[in-house]
Structure 1
Amino acid sequence: MKGSKRGKMLLACLVSMTVLAGCGSGKSDDAGGGKAKDAEQAKINANGFPIVNDNMTVSAFAAKFFANADWNKIRLWTDYEKKTNIHVNWETVQTETLKEKRNLLLAGNDYPELFYASAFSRSDLLKYGKQGVFLPLNDLIDKYAPNFKALMDKYPIIAKGITMPDGNIYGLPTVYDPEFKSVLYGTPWVKQEWLDKLGLKQPESLDDFYNMLKAFKEKDPNGNGQKDEIAWGAVGTTGIVNYLRGSFGLNNHGTSNINVDTDPETGKVRFIPTDPRYKELLQFVNKLYKDGLLEQDIVSVKSTEVDSKGMEGLIGVVDNVDPVAIYNQKGYVGLNVLKGPHGDQQYTAYGSPLGNIGMFVLTDKAKNPEAMIRWMDYFYSDEGIKLFFMGWKDETYTEGANGSVDYTDEIKNNPNGLNLDQAIGQYLIWPGGYYPGFVKQQYFKGAEGLPTSVENAKKAEPYALKQDQVWPPFNFTQDEQSELTTIQTDIDTYVLEMRDKFITGNESFDNWDQYVAALDKMGVKRYVEIYQSAAERYAK
């Protein structure tokens, strides 16, 4: 969850689902889902399998990726049907058309009993929850989802992050295991061979960092007699800015709410993009850009262009996952967390363990919500995640004596020329990263699980925010969301636009006061007040 990097994670293709065998009994009242019935009457088994004694069919809508086979025939779901006695009739769409199709179903009252991997926003969860279209899950979780409940008890940020201001939970999330450090954070990667050749140590300060990049650019570390090295290679300026936020004392609650944190002096919410420390950060990055130490087309460069340079071994610092995974370039190590001009040395460029919280939603058309919560809860267990990600022992994966698992050769080196996503996508649905679940290191085969990534995280850990310091994305009341909708998009867009202009020199820092004044006119004061209210609710 490395802030902006989360979108780039290879794991984005690998969300792990943990699910524990559901258990619970007794009556669920209307607050738990409206249609809740006595478990015996509904013929729901309190624990174990099958979940229901009589076969039942449920309608469901989901987003999927091209690598997945037909969900109505894919083995994950056909095997799980035999285990549960629950047949799910899947309607799936590609992620590119998800939002449009999802909204059409809701607008036309033609929606299914459950939405899976449909990525509802927080505002949509509250909106349709208030309308009664989405069922409150609180009581259902208490009675029929002991495994997910155990996770909420262990990690309070989950319950706080998925509970709406009205006190209800309307969706189940993707959760990144807080113990899986290398999926949560890790610094950019530096080419150790270049450091060694130039006799440089890892940078400790901003000056060291500048001098290292300058040496990469000017001293021909690849030894080909040409100045073709890219000191810092990346798409966009987000990576370099985020890497340095903690060195300037910014984002002391992480990057889930990217433009706000707590002002150390007042204890109130601070709007970061107008803070003097943020201005200093941009001035430093502008110096890097002006002196040619960043990719000169960093604002407009395409990822394919950066990838091409990366695969040629021309990039000194890579702002992505381990280059061995994306560029087949070995020998990169994690950068140090740098000490800033005011003595700050903290790594803050990551969000909370919570991914999308609207990945499993039950609607008011659900005939047996108790059964479906149990159905989902299995995939928050160790057994469930193992099935979800690895499949079947000796068929899709092998297991070592110490419990370690790996895909079979047929999956890793498919005889039909399929890549990993395509090969495993004939059996399982994880390729693409869209589903509720629990991302656990033991079953995670993406780049963040590599030993090098684990070491990178260990290096950053002493400087990383503690779990109780990190904010998840805030949930807002309907009134607050209504106000934010009118001002937030313009403010956030302007902040990003001006960040790039200041960095590239297309806007002079002499005009900083005008920039601040423009944000004031856009309503930044009210923006901060709304976030202050949300922060106070979260603190309670």
Structure 2
Amino acid sequence: MAIEKAGIQNSTGVFVTAFGIAPEFYVKDNKVLWGPAQPEFKDYLKLMHDWYKEGLIDPDFPTRDGKETESQYMRSQLAAKMQDGTALPLKTEPEGIQFVGAPYPKLNDSSDDIHWTYRNNMDRGNWTVITRDCRNPEAAVKWMDWGYTVEGANIMNFGPKGQTYDEKNELGMPQYFKEFAPPNWDIKNEVFRRHNGPYLKSDYRSNPRRSIDRLEKFRVVWEEQQKNHDDWHLPPVTLTAEEGAESATILSDANTYRDEMMVKFITGTEPLSKFDSYQSTINGFGIDQVCELYETALKRYNKR
């Protein structure tokens, strides 16, 4: 199995969420916590270390780049992928290699709840602003507002009807013309639509790969678990300038140390008996202060 260089998949939280924590900041009982600082994180590291020791994880995962990992799949040297994605199956199919989507792992049985899964937030972190140098701010505001109308959102997501697609099916998925359908859509990606910007993004993320039935089955598996199991997600809160500066300083040190120690714990160069020392060092960076900053931001968010 291929895992991320640092040993954890932040966007999906695969495996780590089975232990009742998240890979990053999350909200539990109105309290903001940071997964890598929790005691349960040791259980996740032990699982990864055991699998690494058994040869189930790529021994060179800390130094692999994306292209090297992809070539391993093409040569049938890897059989599982920790993160979500649909691009790889399209590349491996011509080689006779088939992928299937797997549900989020659970620690014990099917009755266990998973509270943190991959989420396609409305706020993707791609913000648009109008600067004071804008020559026509009124027109800029109108254009940005247009992206949140039915007409504007449709064009931003799928391109102009009649030029890129004909109709939508019962699921709301556009039926693209041949020249815009996979595999051609990657080439013309930015020609007929915008991937990110000031508009209401479709649940299909304006991704024509979702029109491929065999790939859509992957997402069906994941989304069935996501319906009621994402209540620990921290919403898109905003820190003040002062809060952001303090948080960035602390997280820079904490993330660097976490990444270094995760690799050491998983590969066995550091024994897990030193986890308490790791946890003490992480807390010493000021993670609790950052959690408090996010709790304050969460209160502001909930009042809006």
Q: Give secondary structure in 1 for the equivalent of 2:217.
A: helix
Q: Where does structure 2 lack aligned partners over 5 or more consecutive residues?
A: none
Aligned partner (choices 85, 100, 107) of residue 340 of structure 1:
107
Does residue 384 of structure 1 match 2:152?
yes
Letter in 2 for 1:327: T
TM-score, length basis structure 1: 0.48
Question: Residues 234 and 306 of structure 1 are in contact (CA less than 8 Å); yes or no, is this contact kept in structure 2?
Answer: no
Q: Which of 394, 414, 422 does residue 187 from structure 2 map onto?
A: 422
Q: Deviations over 1:385-410 (max 9, x none)?
A: 33334434454433378686333334
Structure 1 unaligned residues grouped into runs of 5+: 1-231
3-state SS of paired residue (1:526)? helix
Equivalence for 2:16:
245
2:259 matches 1:491: no
Q: Deviations over 1:367-387 (max 9, x none)?
A: 543332221222223322333
Secondary structure of 2:27's counterpart equals: strand
Q: Does structure 1 conserve the Cα–Cα contact (< 8 Å) formed by 2:49 and 2:266?
A: yes
Match of 1:408 in 2: 177
Partner of 2:278: 515
The C-alpha deviation readout for 1:111-143, integer Å capped at 9, x for no partner, is xxxxxxxxxxxxxxxxxxxxxxxxxxxxxxxxx
Q: Which amino acid aligns with 1:340?
A: L
Corresponding residue of 2:297? 534
CA contact (8 A) 1:448 1:454 kept: yes
Q: Relative contact order: is structure 1 or structure 2 higher (C-alpha 8 Å, sep ≥ 6)?
A: 1
Q: Give the CA deviation at 1:336.
A: 2.8
Between the aligned partners of 2:44 and 2:139, the Cα distance in structure 1 is 52
Contact 1:398 1:406 in 2 (8 A): yes
What CA deviation, in whole Å up to 9, does each residue of 1:141-199 have, x standing for no partner? xxxxxxxxxxxxxxxxxxxxxxxxxxxxxxxxxxxxxxxxxxxxxxxxxxxxxxxxxxx
Shift of 1:517: 2.1
Letter in 1 for 2:100: V
| Structure 2 counterpart of 1:371 | 139
- Is this contact kept in 2: 1:245–1:349, CA < 8 A? no
User: Corresponding residue for 1:458?
Assistant: 220
User: In the TM superposition, what are the counterparts of 1:69-88 in structure 2 within 5 Å?
Assistant: none
Q: Give the superposition deviation at 1:250.
A: 0.9
Report the counterpart of residue 217 of structure 1 in structure 2: none
The structure-2 alpha-carbon separation of the partners of 1:332 and 1:504, relative to structure 1 and needing over 3 Å to count, comes to same
Between the two proteins, what is the percent identity of the paired residues? 25
Aligned-partner Cα distance in 2 for 1:410–1:306: 30
**Secondary structure of 1:485 counterpart:** helix
Q: State the alpha-carbon separation in 2 of the partners of residues 273 and 347 from structure 1.
A: 16
Q: CA deviation at 1:282?
A: 0.9
Measured at CA, do residues 273 and 441 of structure 1 come closer, stay the same or move farther in structure 2, by a change above 3 Å?
Answer: closer
Shift of residue 474, structure 1, vs aligned partner: 2.9
3-state SS of the aligned residue for 2:47? Answer: helix
TM-score (norm 2): 0.80
SS of structure 1 residue aligned to 2:187:
helix
Distance 1:303 1:330 in 2: 18
- Per the alignment, residue 481 of structure 1 pairs with 244
What is the aligned partner in structure 1 of residue 89 from structure 2?
324
Which position in structure 1 is the counterpart of 2:207? 445
Question: How far does residue 424 in structure 1 lie from its aligned partner after superposition?
Answer: 5.2
- In the alignment, the residues of structure 2 paired with residue 324 and residue 307 of structure 1 have an alpha-carbon distance, to the nearest angstrom, of 10
Task: Answer 1 or 2: which has greater strand percent.
Answer: 1
Going from structure 1 to structure 2, the CA distance change for 1:246 and 1:534 (only over 3 Å counts) comes to same
Deviations 1:223-261 (A, max 9, x none): xxxxxxxxx13443223992112211113xxx6xx1443
Shift of 1:315: 3.0
How far apart are residue 284 of structure 1 and its match? 0.8
Pick closer, same or farther for the CA change 1:233–1:487 going to 2, 3 Å: closer
Aligned residue number for residue 77 of structure 1: none
Output the CA distance in 2 between the equivalents of 1:424 and 1:457: 21
Number of equivalenced pairs: 294
Between the aligned partners of 2:283 and 2:4, the Cα distance in structure 1 is: 30
**Separation (CA, whole Å) in 1 of partners of 2:203 and 2:302:** 29
Counterparts in 2 of 1:519 and 1:392: CA distance versus 1, 3 Å? closer
Kept after mapping to 1: 8 A contact 2:185/2:208: no
Question: Does the C-alpha gap of structure 1 residues 449 and 484 become closer, same or farther in structure 2, counting only changes over 3 Å?
Answer: farther
Paired residue type of 1:487: I
Cα distance change, pair 330–385 in 1 and its aligned pair in 2 (3 A): farther
